[in-house]
Structure 1
């Protein structure tokens, strides 16, 4: 029996894909190479390069196109297909948001590092301050968790008045991500 919600599912998928497209734009626009190549292997620049790689991976990984045949006619089949696409789009947006937040933390690290160095090259007088920058980056990266991202994105969707009744669970998203590694 058709439930009449396929239009809402279609709009939800479009919203998720639009969000993902915006995230991909920001991910692709982030720098990956420092001006001074001596900084190439520092923590923040390594994090930015990894984010770029992760962003390309989430964009390029194949979607699950196999949808089981369901009973109930064309509308029920369309529902199953939309739910499959919704999981794919939701998981991509989730991973994109995680990458974007990691990039933002790394870019803050670059700003902190630049403030410490004030145009100079690192030397022994900077060691403790640069170590503090690195430690702060590690703290910020550790705070970017699947749980916090899922909660924040759900809250944001709700505040925007988006239809969220059939959003996949965090466990389903994590399963989707693991299947594409």
Structure 2
């Protein structure tokens, strides 16, 4: 029995894929190597490189294309397929947002570090400030959780008036992501 919502499902998938594509552009544009190669192994630059790797991974991981046959005709089969594609797109967007937020935190760290160094190099006189930058980065990265991302994205979608009635629950998104690691 068709429910007549496949047009809304299709539009939702298009919105999710558009969001994911935008996130991928932002992730790909961020620098991954410091100007001074002595900074290569510092916490923030390591985080920036990991974000780039994670962004490439979520872009390249295969979509789940197996959709079981359902009863009810072509409309019901289309619904099942759209729900599967929606889960894939929603999960990719979720992970892309997580990567992007981690990347922004690392970029802030680069800015803080540059302010502390003021064109110079690390030394005993600025080590305490650099350690504080590292500690702040760790705090910010720890605050980027699946729960907070899921909640923020749902709220954003709702405020934009997007159709969210069949968005997958967080646990399903997390299962999808774990299966691709």
Q: TM-score range by the shorter chain?
A: over 0.9
Please give the alpha-carbon distance, in whole angstroms, between the structure 2 residues aligned to 1:33 and 1:117: 17
Structure 1, unmatched stretches of 5+, are: none
Note the residue ranges of structure 2 that are not aligned, 5 or more in a row.
none
- The 5-angstrom pairing of residues 3-18 of structure 1 reads 3-18=3-18
What is the CA–CA distance in structure 1 between the aligned matches of 2:81 and 2:179, rounded to whole Å?
Answer: 19
Q: Deviations over 1:106-159 (max 9, x none)?
A: 000000001100000111111100000000000000000000000000000000
In structure 1, distance between residues paired with 2:127 and 2:36:
18
Large movers: runs of 4+ above 3 Å: none
Which residue of structure 1 aligns with residue 166 of structure 2?
Answer: 166
Q: How many residues align?
A: 181
TM-score by structure 2 length?
1.00
1:16-165 to structure 2, matched below 5 A, reads 16-165=16-165
Aligned match of 2:177: 177
- Residue 97 of structure 1, CA deviation: 0.1
CA offsets per residue over residues 19-78 of structure 1, 9 Å max, x none? 000000000000000000000000000000000000000000000000000000000000
**TM-score normalised to the size of structure 1?**
1.00
RMSD: 0.2
